[in-house]
Structure 1
Amino acid sequence: MAVQSAKAPPGVREDALPGFAVAAIREDGQWRCARMDPDSLVDLDAAITELRGLRSTGAVLGLLDVDDEFFVLLRPTPGGVALMVSDAAAALDYDVAADVLDLLRIDLPPDDDALDDVWPEGDLNIIADLGLPADELEVLASQVELYPDEQLAAIGRRCGFADALAEVVDAP
Structure 2
Amino acid sequence: MAVKEPITGFAAAVIREDGRWRCSPLDAAALTELDAAITELGKLRSTGAVFGLLAVDDEFFVIVRPSPRGASLLLSDAAAALDYDIAADVLDLLRVDPPDEEDEAVWPEGDLEVLADLGLPGVEMQVIVADVDLYPDEQLQMVAQRCGFGEQFTALLDEL
In structure 1, which of residues 100, 111, 127 is the aligned counterpart of residue 115 of structure 2?
127
The aligned counterpart of 2:136 is 148
TM-score (norm 1): 0.89
Call closer, same or farther: CA 1:93–1:14 in 2, change over 3 Å: closer
The aligned counterpart of 1:82 is 72
In structure 1, which of residues 10, 28, 43 is the aligned counterpart of residue 33 of structure 2?
43
Is 2:150 the partner of 1:165?
Answer: no
In structure 2, which of residues 110, 121, 126 is the aligned counterpart of residue 138 of structure 1?
126
Distance (Å, rounded) in 2 between the aligned partners of 1:170 and 1:96: 25
Return 5+ residue gaps in structure 2 as ranges. none
Distance (Å, rounded) in 1 between the aligned partners of 2:124 and 2:61: 15
Count how many residue pairs are aligned between Structure 1 and Structure 2.
Answer: 159
Which aligned segments of 4 or more residues in structure 1 are displaced greater than 3 angstroms? none
The aligned counterpart of 2:61 is 71
In structure 2, which of residues 21, 30, 47 is the aligned counterpart of residue 57 of structure 1?
47
Distance (Å, rounded) in 2 between the aligned partners of 1:145 and 1:24: 25
RMSD: 1.2
TM-score (norm 2): 0.95
3-state DSSP of counterpart to 1:91: helix
Distance (Å, rounded) in 1 between the aligned partners of 2:56 and 2:69: 26
More off after superposition, 93-102 vs 14-23: 14-23
The aligned counterpart of 1:117 is 105
> Percent identity over the alignment?
58
More off after superposition, 136-145 vs 26-35: 136-145
